[in-house]
Structure 1
Amino acid sequence: MRGIDVSDVRWKNPLRRGLRAAAVMLFFSLSACGGNSADQVDLTPDKPAEQLYAEAQEFSQNGQWLQAAAAYEEVERQHPYSELAKRAQVEAAYAYYEGDSYEEAVGAAERFIDLHPGDEATPYAYYLIGLCYYEQISDVGRDQDMTERALQSFDEMVRRYPESDYARDARLKLDLIQDHLAGKEMEIGRYYETRKQYVGAINRFRNVVENYQTTSHVPEALFRLTETYLALGVRKEAQSAAAVLGYNYPGSIWYERSYALLEDQNLQPAEDSGSWLSNLF
């Protein structure tokens, strides 16, 4: 036997049809009376993308960065497939950066990179991520997590886009970051040295000499190696450190101090072909 079509019964029954019409009318009347209820559906038409973008730009020009970021994100929310939506993503990241909301800026920039890996603005998005971490670098006496993140971000940016407009500045900042990290190593090394933990100190000074050769801390690191090797009685390494220091930084105050230390023990700077220092330089 043929089954009953429930939908036919519902619509063809006059009583049910009348009840349904009444229910629909009641729904709209309640919605109209609901005022600002949280459950009320917002039926306001979307603004044109151009208008939203212009409003966001006005916020930016007035220095209202967080309002600008929210407005740029609204462009994408209301018009996700428009060309302005893509541009607004980058602008939102920059606005968050200017507003010191670095975490939000990084999130917005990373999202842009994920969605548009081949876009012409992608190098800038990488650069902006590096800037966010760079702005949060603390002094050498504190944790250097942000310094490491800035280093990784700028390094990736330069590696991926070496000819981009932002690569030159990224390289300059990489040099400053390297110097900052070397300074942190020197601080820890000096701390160990003052407590006569010479092996720990040597490891820190050696790290500076080996991995941060272009920084301003290398001359002092070589002097500290001379000092700590002498404290341990490892004279050949001390003489080698002083010799390398004198050869590479002959006019440095650190070489004068190293030479004086050796002279006090009737020693002279002398290169040792078997030393790690000689092989390094």
Structure 2
Amino acid sequence: MLSNKLGRSVVLSSVLGLMLAGCSSQSEEEQVSKTQIEAMYDQAQRSMASGNLSLAQNQLSSLNSRYPFGPFAHQIQLDLIYLHYKLDNTDEALAAVDRFISLNPNHKDVDYALYMRGLVNQRAEHNAVHDLAGVDRSDRDSSMAEEAFKDFAELVRKYPDSEYAADAKQRLIALKSRLAKKELAIAQYYMERQAYLAAANRARYILKHYSDTPEVENALAMMVESYEQLELPELREDAMKVLRANFPENRLVSTR
């Protein structure tokens, strides 16, 4: 009886020893991995600081793939969003933002992710070559500008105290003017083809949705001219009253 108890005690001691050894080994492996990850992350940061963004992107992408739940996982994902943006990798940047927000909806840096999504969409919409050449492209596709507007508006609405909110508000002003110009270009297209009702409707849309943009003056003037062509004197006079009250120097006001 005593020998059986002694035997079981020896077995239990052996098993416990193996378990403790395993735990110790696992802890050491985790520590080594953490040290390796930290070293690799520091290396990527140095690449970024020196301006070698492509190398930094490759290094962080490798880290993200090998250690998706490592100690720097969230920061690595945020850094990759920034690098995709800087390298004009629009699709990758948007996918990385959406993935981060989806997996970490309550993370303290969600406001930054939203801000970066707005920047990515705004840059995708922007055409530096035409801007530098002084070419007016108000009639070009505005879908990315609309997405950027939604992103910045969501940031300001959900995180009004964010450090990025002030810049987002300024970008909303510029984007609103850009979208108003697109509507005005469409209205002008209808005017040139004598589709006056369609032109007036587009101009009225500008007044409703972009009332605080400079494009309102031209929209009102277009409404006056459209209603005159359509022989709708009451609507023409209503539009003229608003134009006269807000833009007394407009050519239509001064010639009537």
Shorter-chain TM-score bucket reads 0.7 to 0.9
User: Match for residue 226 of structure 2?
Assistant: 228
Q: Which amino acid aligns with 1:109?
A: V
Report the 3-state secondary structure (helix = DSSP H, G, I; strand = E; otherwise coil) of the residue aligned with 1:109.
helix
CA distance in 2, matches of 1:234, 1:259: 21
Compared with structure 1, are the counterparts of its residues 131 and 97 closer, same or farther at alpha carbon in structure 2 (3 Å cutoff)?
Answer: same
Match of 1:153 in 2: 151
DSSP 3-state at the match of 1:220: helix
Could you say which residue in structure 1 is the equivalent of 2:17? none
Instruction: Give the deviation of 1:259 after TM superposition.
Output: 4.4
Alignment of 1:67-216 (within 5 A): 67-138=55-126, 139-216=137-214
CA shift digits 1:157-186 (9 cap, x unpaired): 212111101111111111111110100111
Tell me how many residue pairs correspond in the alignment: 214
Separation of aligned partners in 2, 1:152 and 1:132: 12
Q: Percent identity?
A: 32
| TM-fit CA distance, 1:74 | 2.3
Counterpart contact for 1:66–1:96, Cα < 8 Å: no
Query: By how many angstroms is 1:82 displaced?
Result: 2.6
User: For residues 55-93 of structure 1, what are the alpha-carbon distances to aligned partners after superposition, in whole Å with 9 as ceiling and x for unaligned?
Assistant: 211221222223212212222333333331211110011
Report deviation, 1:124.
Answer: 0.2
Q: In structure 2, what is the Cα distance between the partners aligned to 1:259 and 1:209?
A: 22
Per-residue CA deviations over 1:187-229 (Å, capped at 9, x if unaligned) read 1111111111101111111111111101110011111111111
Distance in 2 of aligned mates of 1:173 and 1:136: 14
Q: Which amino acid aligns with 2:241?
A: A
Give 1:52's match in structure 2, choosing from 31, 40, 46.
40
Q: Is the 8 A contact 1:182 1:212 kept in 2?
A: yes
Residue of structure 1 equivalent to 2:54: 66
Q: Mark the runs of 5 or more structure 2 residues left unpaired by the alignment.
A: 1-31, 127-136
CA RMSD in angstroms, aligned pairs only: 1.7
Q: How do 1:25-36 residues align onto structure 2 when only pairs under 5 Å count?
A: none
Residue 218 of structure 1 pairs with residue 213 of structure 2: no
Q: Secondary structure at the match of 1:214?
A: coil
Paired AA for residue 41 in structure 2: Y
Residues 116 and 163 (structure 1), Cα distance of their counterparts in 2 relative to 1, 3 Å cut: same
**8 Å Cα contact 1:72-1:92 kept in structure 2:** yes
Amino acid at match of 2:124: Q
Tell me which protein shows more helix as a share of its residues: 2
Distance 1:231 1:104 in 2: 50
Runs of 4+ aligned residues of structure 1 deviating over 6 Å after TM superposition are: none
**Alignment deviations for residues 81-131 of structure 1 (CA, whole Å, 9 cap, x no partner):** 333121111001101111111211111122221222212211101100010
Which residue of 254, 257, 269 maps to 2:252?
257
Matches of 1:111 and 1:223 in 2, distance apart?
A: 46
| Cα distance change on mapping 1:226 and 1:220 into 2, 3 Å | same
- Using the alignment, how far apart are the partners of 1:249 and 1:187 within structure 2? 20
Q: Do the aligned residues in 2 keep the contact of 1:70 with 1:92 (CA within 8 Å)?
A: no
Report the CA distance between 1:135 and its aligned residue. 0.6
Between Structure 1 and Structure 2, whose CA radius of gyration is higher?
Answer: 1
Matches within 5 A, 1:239-254: 239-250=237-248, 252=249, 254=250
